[in-house]
């Protein structure tokens, strides 16, 4: 994944794990849906590596240490578009507060 915001981290990459066990497949499906994966492929329960390129969304990451190794986990994720609208509204709200 490539970071686009915050700007001081733009262009950096992160790697995280998303479990693909039988019990966790719902989370993978949800992630792919939220990030704009091809709905037709999702309906057929197919994951095409080429179709993963360019997916966009917002993620919250956390760190876990297990057996002395540190991993980044995807704690939460959401589609990019609603988040952008929320982010812009929040920025406008802060600007109004600063002016007042």
Paired tokens of 76: 């939460």
Q: Give me the domain span that covers residue 61.
A: 7-99
60 is a domain residue: yes
Number of domains in the chain: 1
Distance CA 18, CA 76 (A): 11
Mean pLDDT estimate for the chain: 75
- pLDDT of residue 99 exceeding 70, the answer is no
93 is a domain residue: yes
Distance CA 100, CA 91 (A): 14
Give the pLDDT confidence of 45-91 residue by residue, as tens digits.
888 989 988 888 888 878 889 899 988 777 778 888 765 554 544 44
Report the predicted TM-score, pTM, of the whole model to 2 decimal places: 0.61
2 is a domain residue: no
13 is a domain residue: yes
84 is a domain residue: yes
Distance CA 28, CA 22 (A): 10
54 is a domain residue: yes
92 is a domain residue: yes
97/82: higher pLDDT: 82
């Amino acid at each position: 994944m490539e970071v686009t915001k915050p700007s001081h981290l733009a262009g950096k990459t992160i790697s995280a794990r998303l479990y693909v066990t039988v019990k966790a497949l719902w989370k993978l499906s949800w992630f792919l849906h939220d990030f704009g994966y091809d709905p037709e492929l999702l309906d057929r329960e197919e994951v095409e590596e080429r179709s993963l390129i360019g997916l966009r969304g917002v993620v919250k990451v956390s760190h876990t240490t297990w057996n002395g190794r540190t991993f980044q986990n995807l704690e939460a994720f959401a589609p990019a578009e609603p988040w952008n609208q929320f982010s812009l509204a929040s920025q406008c709200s802060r600007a109004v507060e600063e002016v007042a």
